[in-house]
Amino acid sequence: MTSTEHDEAAPGRLTVRGLTVEFDGFRAIDGVDLMLLPGQLHFLIGPNGAGKTTLVDAVTGLVKAQGTATYEGHDLLTTKSHRIVRLGVGRTFQTATVFEELSVLQNLDIAGGVHRSAWRMILPRGAAPTYVEEALEAIGLADLRDRPAGSLAHGQKQWLEIGMLLVQDAKVMLLDEPVAGMSAEEREETGALLRRIGGERTIVVIEHDMDFVREYADWVTVMHAGKVLTAGSVAQVQADEQVQEVYLGRTADAVLHEDDTAAAAEGSEI
Q: What is the pLDDT of residues 239-248, one digit of tens each?
A: 888 887 775 4
Length, in residues, of the chain? 270
Fold of 1-88+200-261: Rossmann fold (3.40.50)
30 has pLDDT over 50:
yes
DSSP string, 243-261: HHHHTTT--HHHHTTS--G
What pLDDT shows up at residue 266? 44
122 has pLDDT over 50:
no
Q: Which residues pair with 20 in a beta bridge?
A: 30, 66
Tell me what the pLDDT averaged over the chain comes to.
85
What pLDDT shows up at residue 195? 94
CA-based nearest residue to 215, from 195, 198, 240: 195
CA-based nearest residue to 38, from 100, 88, 80: 88
Task: Give the helix/strand (H/E) hosting 112.
Answer: helix 104-112
For the ranges 110-114, 212-216, 261-265, the one whose mean pLDDT is highest:
212-216
Share of the chain above pLDDT 70, in %: 82
208 has pLDDT over 60:
yes
Contacts of 108 (CB under 8 A, 6+ apart): 128, 132, 135, 136, 160, 163, 164, 167
Task: Give the helix/strand (H/E) hosting 18.
Answer: strand 14-23
Buried b (16+ CB within 10 A) or exposed e, 104-116: bbbbbbebbeeee
How far is it, in rounded angstroms, from Cα 35 to Cα 5?
Answer: 8
What pLDDT shows up at residue 48? 86
Task: Give the helix/strand (H/E) hosting 91.
Answer: strand 89-91
